[in-house]
Amino acid sequence: MPTTASAPGKALIAGGYLVLERPNIGLVLASSARFFSTVGWKAAEAAARPQAGDTSGSDTAAQPPAAPAAGDDADERLFVRVVSPQFGQRLCYRLGFESGGEGLRLSSTTERGGGGGGNSYVEHTITHTLAAVCALRGYTSLRELLAGAAAAAAARGEEGCAAAAGEPRELSIELRADNDFYSQSRHLSARGLPLSAGSLRQLPRFLPCPVDGATGAAVVAKTGMGSSAALITSLVAALLAFFDAQTAAAATAAAVGGGGAAVAEYKATVHAVAQACHAMAQGKVGSGFDVCAAVHGCNGYVRFSKSLLQVVLDAPETAAGTAAPVPPARLGGCVGGGALSAWDHEVAPFALPPCLELLMGDVCGGSETPSMVRKILGWRDGGAGAEGDARRALWAALGAANCRVRDGAAALHAASEADGESYAAHVGACENFPNAAWAMMGGRVGELLLELRRAFEEARSLLRRMGEGADVPVEPPAQLALCDATAALPGVLACGVPGAGGYDAVFAIVLGGAAAAGRVEALWASWDTATGAVAAGAGASGGGGGGGGGAVVPLLLRVDQGAGVRIEDDEVFGVEVAKAEAAAAAFRD
């Protein structure tokens, strides 16, 4: 049986930029949109590797595996096929242990042309995760790694292993993502459907990205929900559970709601390996909040020390498709021999208070987050005398405002725990009124809602001031107008741009049930991003943020208060995939 793991997307609702440095907190919500990675063996009769020129099911031609290098034992190589139906991509590799035990090397056997290329996120995740398994269990050969996979299958209650010695071995990896990770505006516009939540509900799950008519390449437009971190985390979790018996047992326990030290160590291992893979793929050590949310779900996050991943980043690299081997010892410095205890990040409980809901909007734009971060940090550290002091004071004030958001949410949780029925009634009473009336309509609960709203407004204002000072479009005029209009609606607690800001997305937190959410979705669907105002008929147009025109598409996702990364019931997931593929075929027709 294959192993499928999934991980949620994220929304950083407070802590943008500051979360890059300890001890500042980032408040992260995990989404119901999830990325899925399925790992399994191909049956011997289905494992024939593609012949030269074969492009079946893919716009990336796959070539036969290269001849073994001198000293390379045929039993010390594993063929790997990665399929991503949503991107029309099929990538083929050969994985082997270097002679002399230098480490795992993943060599591409996919033709690097025709717009196909590789996927550094997937490639680094495969090699570094399997190197981590070898480091944890002391494996020094591929044969031992495959024996570990057989033991993991037994731990999952499966009989035998399809990759027994002497059989053709091909590892199959399939990647799928919920639609909300990618903009669906092109699909909707091509079919004359309004850019609305109702139209999104008509789309099949796991819908392939639109294809550029000129190049034949998939058009990938992200919605800023952390797809890269969710992809890596789900693939790390699937590979660990598939190849390591100890991890498989803990992952199975976690999947049915179990706890204990083994489950905690399992999540800590997934987190450490995923952070290493993400850093290698990006070529730098980021804050890590997105990976942490993919592993743990909603949380109040304080980053880890960058030095923990320096041993991984110092690794040599060669040309694409011929990456340097990854010695297991390199990952051992992150996960082996007590290394997990050195991770100093903090994951504190954080969640939206009861009766509040998160909405996300796709503004069909995009932002260059790395360059924005460099400019913000440069501005913060620049300036002399009083000017420099003022900049750093603003930074500190923003940190304090973020803490007030955290504390305001905690106060509402406490009110709900004290008297849940009264709390829900007071929130419901405020839902259909402007915020000025909340104290009168909601009593003490209404006052707490107003305090949390003011904390969000202060954090949003300070973040915008910081962007203006650094000449960075943290909340550009188009987003400013949209957020102000959204925040003025009855029942809206807060609105802003998540994370580093820009044109990636917009979020709103609303009170109560469907009424407030419906008002926000109606405004967004009728919003013209070119004019920064409501425009009749805008919901039926395409386009994007940053002056491109068009509506803001309300995404279908909501907050997932669950436990983050998880192992899926593969039979149930298989049925879901079959349904989605049949619906997608009918949708294309």
Residue 187 lies in a domain: no
The tally of domains found in the chain comes to 2
Q: Given this model, what pLDDT does residue 159 score?
A: 60
Q: Given this model, what pLDDT does residue 249 score?
A: 80
**Distance from C-alpha of 47 to C-alpha of 58, rounded to nearest angstrom:** 17
Residue 194 lies in a domain: no
Give the tens place of pLDDT for each residue, 363-394. Answer: 876 667 888 999 999 999 998 899 999 999 99
Query: Residues with Cβ < 8 Å from 495, sequence gap 6 or more?
Result: 482, 483, 484, 486, 487, 506, 507, 508, 509
Decide: 545 and 365 in contact? Cβ < 8 Å.
yes
The CATH number of whichever domain residue 280 belongs to comes to: 3.30.230.10
Q: Are residues 412 and 509 in the same domain?
A: yes
Q: Are residues 344 and 364 in the same domain?
A: no
**Higher-pLDDT residue of 418, 211:** 418
Give the tens place of pLDDT for each residue, 543-555. Answer: 333 334 567 999 9
Helix ranges (H only) for 318-384 are 328-335, 369-381
Mean pLDDT along residues 450-479? 96
Q: Are residues 365 and 338 in the same domain?
A: no
The CATH number of whichever domain residue 484 belongs to comes to: 3.30.70.890
Question: By residue range, what is the domain housing residue 158?
Answer: 3-182+222-349+564-588
Q: Which tokens in the block code for residue 375?
A: 């400019």
Q: Which tokens in the block code for residue 281?
A: 């793929």
Tokens 């408040």 sit at which residue?
27
Give the residue from 558, 556, 554, 529 showing the smallest Cα distance to 541. Answer: 529
Mean pLDDT along residues 225-230? 96
Residue 258 lies in a domain: yes
**Distance from C-alpha of 555 to C-alpha of 54, rounded to nearest angstrom:** 38
Residue 287 has pLDDT above 60, yes or no: yes
- Element (H or E) spanning 554, and its range? strand 553-554
Decide: 561 and 297 in contact? Cβ < 8 Å.
yes
Q: Are residues 321 and 394 in the same domain?
A: no
Residue 191 lies in a domain: no
Widest pairwise Cα distance in the chain: 80
**Higher-pLDDT residue of 254, 199:** 199
User: Confidence class of residue 154 from pLDDT cuts 50, 70 and 90?
Assistant: confident
Q: Which tokens in the block code for residue 415?
A: 């009110």
Q: Given this model, what pLDDT does residue 51 score?
A: 37
Q: Given this model, what pLDDT does residue 48 score?
A: 42
Q: Given this model, what pLDDT does residue 512 score?
A: 85
Mean pLDDT along residues 432-454? 95
Residue 321 has pLDDT above 50, yes or no: no
Residue 199 lies in a domain: no
Residue 205 lies in a domain: no
Neighbouring-strand partners of residue 182: 222
Residue 60 has pLDDT above 70, yes or no: no
Q: Given this model, what pLDDT does residue 364 score?
A: 73
**Distance from C-alpha of 445 to C-alpha of 466, rounded to nearest angstrom:** 32
Q: Given this model, what pLDDT does residue 252 score?
A: 74
- Element (H or E) spanning 27, and its range? strand 26-41
Q: Identify the weakest region by mean pLDDT among 147-151, 342-346, 374-378.
A: 147-151
Q: Identify the weakest region by mean pLDDT among 131-135, 323-327, 556-560, 567-571.
A: 323-327
Q: Given this model, what pLDDT does residue 503 score?
A: 86
Residue 213: exposed, middle, or buried by beta-carbon count in 10 A (0-12, 13-18, 19+)? exposed
Q: Given this model, what pLDDT does residue 402 score?
A: 98
Q: Are residues 463 and 506 in the same domain?
A: yes
Q: Are residues 396 and 428 in the same domain?
A: yes
Give the tens place of pLDDT for each residue, 289-310. Answer: 999 999 999 999 999 999 999 8
Residue 423 has pLDDT above 80, yes or no: yes
Residue 460 has pLDDT above 90, yes or no: yes
Q: Given this model, what pLDDT does residue 316 score?
A: 64
Residue 44 has pLDDT above 80, yes or no: no
**Distance from C-alpha of 243 to C-alpha of 233, rounded to nearest angstrom:** 16
DSSP conformational letter for 555: -
Mean pLDDT along residues 519-531? 87
> What does pLDDT average to over the chain?
85
Residue 4 has pLDDT above 60, yes or no: yes
Query: What percentage of the chain carries pLDDT values higher than 70?
Result: 85
Residue 55 lies in a domain: yes
Residue 74 lies in a domain: yes
Q: Are residues 319 and 363 in the same domain?
A: no
**Distance from C-alpha of 296 to C-alpha of 230, rounded to nearest angstrom:** 11
**Distance from C-alpha of 515 to C-alpha of 557, rounded to nearest angstrom:** 17
Q: Identify the weakest region by mean pLDDT among 66-70, 159-163, 180-184.
A: 66-70
**Higher-pLDDT residue of 269, 528:** 269
Q: Given this model, what pLDDT does residue 257 score?
A: 65
Mean pLDDT along residues 141-146? 89
Q: Are residues 113 and 33 in the same domain?
A: yes
Mean pLDDT along residues 208-223? 84
Q: Are residues 152 and 294 in the same domain?
A: yes
Decide: 75 and 54 in contact? Cβ < 8 Å.
no
Residue 53 has pLDDT above 70, yes or no: no
End-to-end Cα separation, the chain, in angstroms: 32
Give the residue from 389, 357, 385 showing the smallest Cα distance to 494. Answer: 357
Q: Are residues 104 and 21 in the same domain?
A: yes
Q: Given this model, what pLDDT does residue 542 score?
A: 38
Q: Given this model, what pLDDT does residue 213 score?
A: 80
Mean pLDDT along residues 151-155? 85
Residue 66 has pLDDT above 50, yes or no: no
Q: Are residues 524 and 583 in the same domain?
A: no
**Distance from C-alpha of 9 to C-alpha of 15, rounded to nearest angstrom:** 17
Displacement of CA 340 from its chain's centroid (Å)? 22
Backbone angles phi, psi at 373, to 5 degrees: -65, -45
Residue 393: exposed, middle, or buried by beta-carbon count in 10 A (0-12, 13-18, 19+)? exposed
Q: Given this model, what pLDDT does residue 34 score?
A: 97
Number of helices followed by number of strands (H, E) in the chain: 17, 15
Backbone angles phi, psi at 512, to 5 degrees: 70, -145
- Element (H or E) spanning 97, and its range? strand 89-97
Task: State the CB neighbour count (10 A cutoff) for residue 312.
Answer: 22
Q: Identify the weakest region by mean pLDDT among 340-354, 397-411, 531-545.
A: 531-545
Q: Are residues 310 and 395 in the same domain?
A: no
Highest mean pLDDT among 65-74, 112-121, 178-187: 178-187
